[in-house]
Each structure stands twice: as C-alpha cells, then as structure tokens.
Structure 1
Amino acid sequence: MSSAQKARFEGKVAVVTGGSRGIGAAVARRLVQEGAAVAIGYRGNQEAAAALVAELGDGGGRAVAVQADVADPEQTGALIERAVAEFGRLDVLASCAGIEHFDALENITSADFDRVFAVNTRGQLFAVQHAVPHLGAGGRIVLTSSVSASKAFFGHTLYAASKAAVESMVLNLSAELGRKGIAINAIAPGGTATDMARENGASYLHPDLAGKQDLSEWLQVGVALRRLAEPSEVAAGYAFLASADAAYMTGRTLQLDGGMF
C-alpha cells in the first residue's frame, strides 16, 4: 500500500456494521490501515469484535466495538451516536451486516421474509437515515448488495430480492443525498472466502449437480478468476468507494465477482 493510500482516511471516522467477521472485519481493517478511526458494529459475536479492536489497537489504530442489531433501527442509531461521541465526527458509513437465506418458494414463510428484509434491506435503509445527519459534504456511504441481485440461483429468491432492493435504494438516494454533497454506492460481492461462504457455498450449485460437483470445481468453470475472493480484496472496493478517489461516483453498484458467468 502506497503512502498516499495510507493517508486516504487520515482524520476520518467510519462506522462499519457487521464488522466483527468476514467482509465487514476486512473493511474495518482496511479503513484503519488507511488512517480512519472506526466504530465496529456487531450483533452477537462480542469476542470476535473485541479481538478485532485489540488487533487494530496493537497496530496503532483507533477502533471501538459497539453491539448493535441492525434489524432494530434504534440500535443502529445508537451505534452511529456512539461513533460520533467517541471520535467527534462521521465521514463514512460502510454497511456490511447481512444474513443468508436459501429455500424453495413453497417453503418461504412470512417470518422468513420479515427476518431477511429486516437485516438486509430495512437495516441498511435506516443505517443511512441515522448516518446522514452527521455526514457533511464529502460524506461517503457504501451499502452491500450481492451478485445474486443480478444472477439467478436456485432457492435464493428471498435473499436476492432483499439485495436487489438495496441497489434500487442506492440509485434513488443518490439524487436526494447529492444535494447534500454525499455520495452513496454499493458493492455486490461474488463468492468470498468467509464463514458465510463455508456454511452456504454448496447451496449455490445447481441442484442437478448435487453429488457430482463441488464448489471448487464450479469455480473453475463459472468464475473467470477461478477462485473465491479474499475478504481483503472485497474490502479494497469499499475503501475505493469511501474515498475521494470515487468523488464523482454515486448511485451505482460495483460488482466484485471475479468475472462470474
């Protein structure tokens, strides 16, 4: 990383939801490495969040962990307020919290719908709502979609719909927030080497190939780069959209999928 990159977020403050593991933890690391102070939101994994804060502190970074379930807008608001109280300002919101869901149409319940949309869609909308009053001109918001919003997988309808809604929110909010000088974009990750991928990776395979092909074999023929992304590689995309390097980009969703086809 160049010295210029290391200074991209010097003096800036970021909130990262879902920051205790996976992509969110990688985003928190990247922003701190580039000079930001970061409030790391987590739902239940206090041990992982505390370990990450300690790791970042040992490296000379500034970070704090705050318990907040994004399905509850009041908890998200409290996370934002804690970040501002702790560090004095807010410049970046990186919304990384999310949950997976796979099931056939006939099995989806209204409770499933409410749970998935509460986190993946409503949670991101109200994170933006709470962050905007603290973001001045030049503020940056990066939400999380998924390659599933634009590519079909069996049993993924509910999850994909919750992420497609995020892309629509980003597009429409860009006009509203542009008047305030705030840019809002999204990242749509493809397969990434996280706990979530290990738990759900096989579900992405075509059901007719069950027992005939595993995820590693599918990656060889379904992804141009023939592998999963590392969380740090995806985090680089969040850092780009959160930085002044993306000053003229708003309302867009950046796909980071390794060339999935």
Structure 2
Amino acid sequence: ITFDDMTSEHSFKNVTFLNVLRYIVMVLTIVLQFSFLASDIYTLIQIYVLGNWANYHSISYVPILAYKIIFTACIGISIMFLIITWWYGTYVYKTNRVVRSYLDDVAMNLHSLNSFEKFCIYRQISTKSFYDWFVISIYQSWHFSIYNWLFADTPRQMLNGATIAYTISNSFTSSNIVHIVKDIANRNSQEAILLSFMTFSFFVWVIFTVKYLAVLLSSACICSSIRKKDGVTFSKFIHKMVADAVLEMYDEQDKK
C-alpha cells in the first residue's frame, strides 16, 4: 500500500496536542542527532589545529594522539554510515510505500517532515499498544543505527567521558561541570569551548545509550519468544505486524 492509496480517498490528518508534541519531539531528535555529530566534528578539527595540547591542562588527560586516531576513525565511520543510510532511505522514500518507509528511519523522517498527514499515519501504526511500539523500536534500532552507536559513537565518547571525569576530579572549586567550564573560560576561552562541546556530545550519547541498552537487553528475550510463539523470524513478524496495522487502519477508514 502506498501513501497515494491511503490518502486519495481518506484523510488521516489528526491535529491533536499529543500529535503536535510528538512531531516537535521528532524534529528535535533529528536536530539533536545532527548536532551530536557536528559537535564531535568541531572537536576533531580543534584537536588538529591546537598549538600545544599540554597547555590545555583541564582536557589533556587523554593523549592527543589517541584523540586524533579514535575521533578520525569514528567520525569517518559515522559519515559513511550517514551517507549510506540517507542514500538508502531516500530510495525507500521515493517508493512511497507505507510499510517499507515506516521501517526505515530516514524514509519515515523524510515523509513526516514533508507531510503532517503521513506523520499521523505513522503514529497510528505505532500506537496500537506499548508492546507493538517497543518491538518496532527494537527492529528500527537494529536496522541499523545501533551499529553506528556501538562502533562509531561509543569509542569516541569514552574519550570525552574520561576527559570530563578527569576535569571534574581535578576541580577544587566545584563538581558542577557548568561552573567548571565557566572557571576555565576565565583562563582559556578556547579550552572552555572545547570542553563544552565534549560535554554536550557526551550527554547526548548518554541519552541514546539508555535507548540502545534497553534494545540490547530486550532483544534476545523478545526475538526468541516471537520465534517460539509465532514460528517466524523477528523480521518477518515485524513486517507482518506493520502491514496488518496499515490494512486495519485503511479498512477502518473505509467503514466510516
């Protein structure tokens, strides 16, 4: 079923406070994801152009060579991942198919940004029950953002986390990172800016880490239970569940 099939005869636009709030959250999440990568790109650029790493006393706990190697490799992986996922997501977006695009983050975001009605269709699919929403979230994470988090985001955030922890442990005035950054800014504004970007990036990573840890811990149990109960793979189960939800939604509109 395509969006043209869904919307040619029926209207699915549902302007409620909750839907508008969800839409805003979606937009903010997209902005946060790009800001997260941009922050680390800025950090990498600054590391390469710094004159003397040893003069940056608050953030020089991790050797600069380690930062250069790990950040360069990880950001390179992230950029390649971004290019591939957006290329494939754009391809799925152009097919205009509801089920296929719903199971691809990029295609779903593109459709949602392009049309609030399509966003409402997606929300109706995912709000049947908490279980449906959760298993779909697991599927979407494994296709394929969790790999980027594991192999590209996590290694470089370990360095940022170590730097932040070192900075806090060596501060005699406060354990509040905001106050520490302000104090450093009085001595070295460039160092304070760099630490601010590291801190922002690290805390965004923590937010995504909570999600992906939940996915990792739940995947084994849920996937095995689906295989035992329904006798199908997790992927086939998700595709069927979403397809059934779309057909049910379409039939409900036909009956009105």
Q: TM > 0.5 between the two?
A: no
TM norm structure 1: 0.27
Question: Higher strand share goes to which structure?
Answer: 1
Structure showing greater Rg: 2
TM norm structure 2: 0.28
By relative contact order (CA 8 Å, sep 6+), the higher-ranking structure is: 2
